[in-house]
Amino acid sequence: MRLIVKLLIFTLAIGSLQSCVSKKKYDELAAAKEATDQALAETQSQLKTLEEEKAALEADFESTKADLNGKISDLEGKMSGMESQMSQMKEKLNMTEKELNALKEEINGIFGAYANSGLKMEERDGSLYVVTSNPVQYRSGSTALSADERSALEELAMTLKNNPKLQLMVVGHTDDQKMVEGAAYRDNWDLSVARANRVVRYLISKGASPAQLTIAGRGESMPVGDNETAEGRQENRRTVIQPNPNLGGLMKAGN
């Protein structure tokens, strides 16, 4: 009987020990599971955040791509427009060059008929000038024309009469000497205009049409000679004649 009791006590002790070991293991497993669940939750949260960031980046990329495509398209349109403008400008420049060459040939042809009269065309610094056999020059402060100058201008008036579509601009110039007290003109600007006016009125008196002539004065602003010398000042006291810069009427008349 005592043996049986001892065996029963031993069996209960062993069972109690096994029960204690299983609970500890269970707790460890439960703790591990909780940690795993927490890590999984954190991972899922991070994954969700990453997916949201990815979606935001994709949306931003698409927006940026669309914006860049729009800007590229706009730049391409502007470049195309600029190329078109450049092409038009080149075409206009080519047309202008052709028109100027045609005009030069036409004017040279007009004056070619009067080669013996002493009138000719010259190109100076990109401008066309009508040159007489005797330059129209003046004494200091004067607008008077010499006999030789009047003779040359009579030939020019005849040229204008025979070529009514030809338009000329008469430009007066002076040296740099200031007006003396009591002079007929306020300053060199007035004097230069008066010189051009004197030439134009003489041409009109010899039959040229006023519609063919334009007056301009440059004062002392465009010297051709050295104003420090008497010879240079004499060169600067002059009137020059050139085709009117408004060539539209002449070109239309020639068509």
Q: What is the pLDDT of residues 186-217, one digit of tens each?
A: 999 999 999 999 999 999 999 999 999 999 99
Joined together, the tokens standing for residue 127 give: 């401008």
Query: What average pLDDT is seen over the chain?
Result: 77
Nearest to 193 by CA among 232, 220, 168, 233: 220
CA 93 to chain centre: 14
Chain centroid to Cα 163, Å, comes to 38
Residues 10-34: pLDDT tens digits? 555 555 545 555 777 777 777 777 8
pTM over 0.75: no
Helix intervals (H) in the chain: 2-112, 147-162, 188-205, 230-236, 248-254
Farthest-apart Cα atoms in the chain, separation = 175
- In the predicted model, is pLDDT for residue 250 greater than 60? no
Q: Identify the top-confidence range among 155-159, 164-168, 222-226.
A: 222-226
d(CA 193, CA 200): 10
Instruction: Select from 227, 162, 172, 179 the least CA-distant residue to 194.
Output: 172
Residue 211, sorted as left (phi over 0), alpha (psi -120 to 50) or beta, turns out to be alpha
pLDDT of residue 140 exceeding 80: yes
